[in-house]
């Protein structure tokens, strides 16, 4: 039953990607700042971690013999996931602060001239 559920979810995501309901254009790009539309390193690392974790969990699910429950997630992967998401959030906050300070400086320079 668990494998059927994961298969259903994978099929729904694949269908959404194929018919355009899930948009992927710009998914790795920075959304603001002077480097707008360039690849964002923190988004890339978060995507790579997500893909690695998904592959690991899929492999453990396929090897799992209990059909009444999903296999447990290794604590190391959960800690790594928290770290990966933490890197993403912290970098996003730092970027926002830097961009805000840059915009404020530009605004002050325009007011002086």
Contacts of 47 (CB under 8 A, 6+ apart): 27, 28
Structural domain includes residue 99: yes
Domain count across the chain? 1
Count Cβ atoms below 10 Å from residue 110 Cβ, excluding itself: 8
Tokens of 17: 């990607």
State the pLDDT at residue 33.
66
Rounded CA-CA distance 76/53 in Å is 11
Structural domain includes residue 16: no
Structural domain includes residue 20: no
Q: What is the mean pLDDT of the chain?
A: 87
36: DSSP letter: T
Q: What is the mean pLDDT of residues 46-71?
A: 90
Confidence of residue 6 (pLDDT cuts 50, 70, 90): confident
**Containing structural domain, residue 45:** 39-113
Structural domain includes residue 95: yes
Confidence of residue 75 (pLDDT cuts 50, 70, 90): very high
Contacts of 30 (CB under 8 A, 6+ apart): 36, 37, 38, 39, 40, 43, 95
Contacts of 88 (CB under 8 A, 6+ apart): 42, 43, 45, 46
Q: What is the mean pLDDT of residues 20-49?
A: 84
Is the per-residue pLDDT at 44 higher than 70?
yes
Structural domain includes residue 52: yes
Nearest to residue 92, comparing CAs of 31, 24, 23?
A: 31
Structural domain includes residue 1: no
% of the chain at pLDDT higher than 90: 40
Q: Could you tell me the pTM of the whole model?
A: 0.66
């Amino acid at each position: 039953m668990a494998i059927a559920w994961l298969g259903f979810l994978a099929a729904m995501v694949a269908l959404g990607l194929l018919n355009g309901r899930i948009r992927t254009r710009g998914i790795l790009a920075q959304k603001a700042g002077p480097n707008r539309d360039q690849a964002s390193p923190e988004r890339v690392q978060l995507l790579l971690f997500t893909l690695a974790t998904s592959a690991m969990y899929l492999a453990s699910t396929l090897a799992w013999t209990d059909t009444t429950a999903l296999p447990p997630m290794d604590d190391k992967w959960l800690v790594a996931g928290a770290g990966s998401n933490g890197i993403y959030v912290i970098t996003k906050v730092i970027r926002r602060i830097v961009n805000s300070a840059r915009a404020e400086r530009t605004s002050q320079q325009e007011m002086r001239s």
